[in-house]
Structure 1
């Protein structure tokens, strides 16, 4: 399915981040995620040395509504009912009729608007850099970019025109602050993306025509924040403490705007209850066997005789074995009911459940994995893979259910859900060797040596599947690490 997306990237030296997107329809949506992590045998990443609870402790899952994608020119359209600006104006006009203001709705739209601008600016920057890399005609790029800047300026003028409505006496201080935060966040994002574009254009040496325009746009945003005395404008970046304050301010504004999209997660006690029922059932059956055996022993054998004692000992030995076997067997019969982790997803806007997810963790060796997954991993291209030590595999299975009707009831702009999964890598690097090795080579009559980097590869195969139709997307990424942490993430072409 083309609507699936999977992006894997570094999140610091000791953490990776998967960003997954699931399309949402106005029905009950059911998706499954499978992540296979292949690691070299020497790293000893198995059930004995790692284990399910430790792995889940290193794994963090966050779910949010995907940021709506609305072009700047559409945000200012009077007939665009999904535009945050349209909705803010509607709420402000409504207050004149009803003499009251729905502060929660306006703040929600302001935070959403800041997130939309961040996404649109990032997409524009990525698109521009791709066009430059493909050596597109500079004149065509110039015309396209002029159109984009015109749309952006129209949006900024329209949004900042709302400032006068927020200084009205009947507007609460909380709403004024929310508008200022949204404006400051938008300004900082525009400045950041223009700064990245400026640096790339200057370094490329091919499209210097953009540099002056971008520089002017950056200065405009800096002057705008200074004019309204926003906190981010009142810092001296030449001083370390001020620089730290600016970064902190950017982080606060980003969290303020993005958190409106995140779903609240609550742990479910369902798996624990099912596990207890299974354990209790197994114990009851085993105890019944022991009691019946004891009664029959007393009936058929003389009390306190050798055979009577042996029969009772055997009964109690079998009782423990029966209990463990039954517990394992019952768990295998109801795998979906006995998840390693189960969470309820709640819409933060209305605090109502809109879905849930279940997670399962298994540890295998590569020879026990599905042949199709091994094919994606690339074992067929590796000589002698059958006689080399088999790689260890962590299989993380994730089943997510989303009630589209409940989601669309409160979020008309939604077309997908984004899941962010972060995995700590400290456990994977514990047994790694020194990060470099000496290599000896000859140059003429002289033998030289050079230190070469020693790296390890973790191969990650990700499968996203729509459970009803069975349609799926498969991705293969390679994590390159050494003892000092994650070096890079490679996207392996299938």
Structure 2
């Protein structure tokens, strides 16, 4: 059984991104996951429930839910009768044979986009695998295999428009193929550059000269192909490259659209909240009536006493209603979420739901094991709690219907869903001190001033998993200042007892 996992990255100067992957469990009717995030913010920044409410948090966060791209290695993309390239080849032939068939058109559109998405994911995974290789010979051999395999994949894909009668297809289908070809070229070039950059950072770079040459040759080949094909996505030095960035971003959305899901958001617990408010009003009215009846029994029908009792009962009723409303409303917030999100496929079939909420916690309300992880570094421990922090608490519950998910694709297995959350810290960073500081230094007989950078540490603790299953806990430290996010550091939490 595959476990849930996550990946945290810097999106830009202001945003960091967490991508959760929820694997399906085919043997179960439903798959349920939970996610908790504790974000510790220095109290000096004045970020609290009064200055930064729920609406601010939801405004500064963006959420996307999509299918996890089917897993294939680069060789698996091209080898075998059930490989993605073979399925794409069959889809092209089917459209050529039956150009007016709605099913053939949808199949063609589906396979071109799926092939592009699978290749993008496989290149990313291959790049990450190469980063972990230490041995020089093994790395050179792996790069050689990557270049040769990618060259074969690109060649076989471009052969598809050489089929007889391909040019007789409608312009929109030929255009879609050209856009897929352009996107494949762009992503191939990007990851080849990333591998070449990896080799350039190695010690004794001369040992990787041959591999770097092969990478450079394939990059040149792709640049030449896009130029000769009339694709405007060419990166040029001393240019703003606006066209390239726009097309790359747009093509990524177009090709990735095959994986994205529809969502509908609703307020969670709205009915329960209204019921509790009605209950508060009823309770207050019952208390008022009890006081009036009690007054009549004690004082009879004396007008002054009756009027005074009515006023007192109204006062008590008003306070009882308000106190009950606050207490019952807090009860609803504690036991329900802020939002319920329905997750649906392209045919609007429900395949799952996600509930989420956000709140500020007092440090005394943070679970002891989470506080123990937070204070695991020596500086926090020596501070003895004197460094006060505000704690933003985000929680999610995800329920996936396995049977419905497996109906989506006919020729690829749905392995899971990706939940992509982006957090914008700009409002928090605006409250930070200026990042540039001037310090004194002494080196031998020389002394003077030197520039320095002031930063803040925002600690993030993630806890996630399946109910009654293995639970994962990670601690992340965001190093930030007013100019933006500088880096992300994962800290060792050791054994929590």
Judging changes above 3 Å, is the alpha-carbon distance between structure 1 residues 93 and 144 closer, same or farther for their aligned structure 2 residues? same
What is the DSSP-based 3-state SS (H/G/I as helix, E as strand, rest coil) of the residue aligned with 1:240? Answer: coil
Whole-angstrom CA distance in 2 between matches of 1:362 and 1:162: 54
Q: CA deviation at 1:475?
A: 0.9
**Partner of residue 373 from structure 1, selected from 370, 381, 387:** 370
Residue 258 in structure 1 maps to residue 256 in structure 2: yes
Q: CA deviation at 1:388?
A: 0.7
Judging changes above 3 Å, is the alpha-carbon distance between structure 1 residues 186 and 166 closer, same or farther for their aligned structure 2 residues? farther
What is the DSSP-based 3-state SS (H/G/I as helix, E as strand, rest coil) of the residue aligned with 2:398? Answer: strand
Whole-angstrom CA distance in 1 between matches of 2:165 and 2:223: 22
Judging changes above 3 Å, is the alpha-carbon distance between structure 1 residues 270 and 203 closer, same or farther for their aligned structure 2 residues? closer
Judging changes above 3 Å, is the alpha-carbon distance between structure 1 residues 2 and 277 closer, same or farther for their aligned structure 2 residues? same
How many correspondences in the alignment? 483
Judging changes above 3 Å, is the alpha-carbon distance between structure 1 residues 464 and 288 closer, same or farther for their aligned structure 2 residues? same
Residue 464 in structure 1 maps to residue 460 in structure 2: no
Q: CA deviation at 1:177?
A: 1.6
Judging changes above 3 Å, is the alpha-carbon distance between structure 1 residues 324 and 112 closer, same or farther for their aligned structure 2 residues? farther
What is the DSSP-based 3-state SS (H/G/I as helix, E as strand, rest coil) of the residue aligned with 1:232? Answer: coil
Whole-angstrom CA distance in 1 between matches of 2:268 and 2:385: 43
CA contact under 8 A between 2:375 and 2:381: conserved in structure 1?
Answer: no
Whole-angstrom CA distance in 2 between matches of 1:70 and 1:280: 56
What is the DSSP-based 3-state SS (H/G/I as helix, E as strand, rest coil) of the residue aligned with 1:410? Answer: coil
31-40 vs 203-212, which deviates more? Answer: 203-212
CA contact under 8 A between 1:67 and 1:115: conserved in structure 2?
Answer: yes
Q: CA deviation at 1:109?
A: 1.6
Q: CA deviation at 1:252?
A: 0.9
Whole-angstrom CA distance in 2 between matches of 1:389 and 1:309: 56
Whole-angstrom CA distance in 2 between matches of 1:88 and 1:20: 29
Whole-angstrom CA distance in 2 between matches of 1:379 and 1:218: 47
**Post-superposition CA distance 1:33-82 (Å, at most 9, x none):** 000001112112221221222222222211111111212322233432xx
**Post-superposition CA distance 1:77-129 (Å, at most 9, x none):** 3432xx43333333344453797352122212211111111121222223223
Per the alignment, residue 60 of structure 2 pairs with 58
What is the DSSP-based 3-state SS (H/G/I as helix, E as strand, rest coil) of the residue aligned with 1:91? Answer: helix
Residue 119 in structure 1 maps to residue 109 in structure 2: no
Per the alignment, residue 44 of structure 2 pairs with 42
Judging changes above 3 Å, is the alpha-carbon distance between structure 1 residues 309 and 433 closer, same or farther for their aligned structure 2 residues? farther
Per the alignment, residue 220 of structure 1 pairs with 221
Judging changes above 3 Å, is the alpha-carbon distance between structure 1 residues 167 and 378 closer, same or farther for their aligned structure 2 residues? farther
What is the DSSP-based 3-state SS (H/G/I as helix, E as strand, rest coil) of the residue aligned with 1:433? Answer: coil
Whole-angstrom CA distance in 1 between matches of 2:84 and 2:287: 67
Per the alignment, residue 17 of structure 2 pairs with 17
**Post-superposition CA distance 1:380-403 (Å, at most 9, x none):** 743444351432111111111111
Per the alignment, residue 433 of structure 2 pairs with 433
Judging changes above 3 Å, is the alpha-carbon distance between structure 1 residues 79 and 323 closer, same or farther for their aligned structure 2 residues? farther
Matches within 5 A, 1:253-292: 253-292=251-290
* Alignment RMSD: 2.7
What is the DSSP-based 3-state SS (H/G/I as helix, E as strand, rest coil) of the residue aligned with 1:231? Answer: coil
278-287 vs 330-339, which deviates more? Answer: 330-339
CA contact under 8 A between 2:2 and 2:23: conserved in structure 1?
Answer: no
Residue 356 in structure 1 maps to residue 348 in structure 2: no
Q: CA deviation at 1:227?
A: 3.1
Judging changes above 3 Å, is the alpha-carbon distance between structure 1 residues 336 and 434 closer, same or farther for their aligned structure 2 residues? closer
220-229 vs 381-390, which deviates more? Answer: 381-390
What is the DSSP-based 3-state SS (H/G/I as helix, E as strand, rest coil) of the residue aligned with 2:81? Answer: coil
Residue 179 in structure 1 maps to residue 177 in structure 2: yes
Judging changes above 3 Å, is the alpha-carbon distance between structure 1 residues 380 and 439 closer, same or farther for their aligned structure 2 residues? closer
Whole-angstrom CA distance in 2 between matches of 1:359 and 1:394: 13
170-179 vs 155-164, which deviates more? Answer: 170-179
CA contact under 8 A between 1:339 and 1:358: conserved in structure 2?
Answer: yes
Q: CA deviation at 1:328?
A: 4.3
Q: CA deviation at 1:185?
A: 0.4
Deviating above 6 A after TM superposition, structure 1's stretches of 4 or more consecutive aligned residues are none
Judging changes above 3 Å, is the alpha-carbon distance between structure 1 residues 28 and 331 closer, same or farther for their aligned structure 2 residues? farther
Structure 1 gaps, min length 5: none
310-319 vs 182-191, which deviates more? Answer: 310-319
Residue 76 in structure 1 maps to residue 78 in structure 2: yes
Whole-angstrom CA distance in 1 between matches of 2:278 and 2:480: 45
CA contact under 8 A between 1:38 and 1:393: conserved in structure 2?
Answer: yes
Judging changes above 3 Å, is the alpha-carbon distance between structure 1 residues 166 and 199 closer, same or farther for their aligned structure 2 residues? farther
What is the DSSP-based 3-state SS (H/G/I as helix, E as strand, rest coil) of the residue aligned with 1:414? Answer: coil
Whole-angstrom CA distance in 2 between matches of 1:423 and 1:99: 45
Matches within 5 A, 1:481-492: 481-492=480-491
Per the alignment, residue 474 of structure 1 pairs with 473
Whole-angstrom CA distance in 1 between matches of 2:35 and 2:374: 17
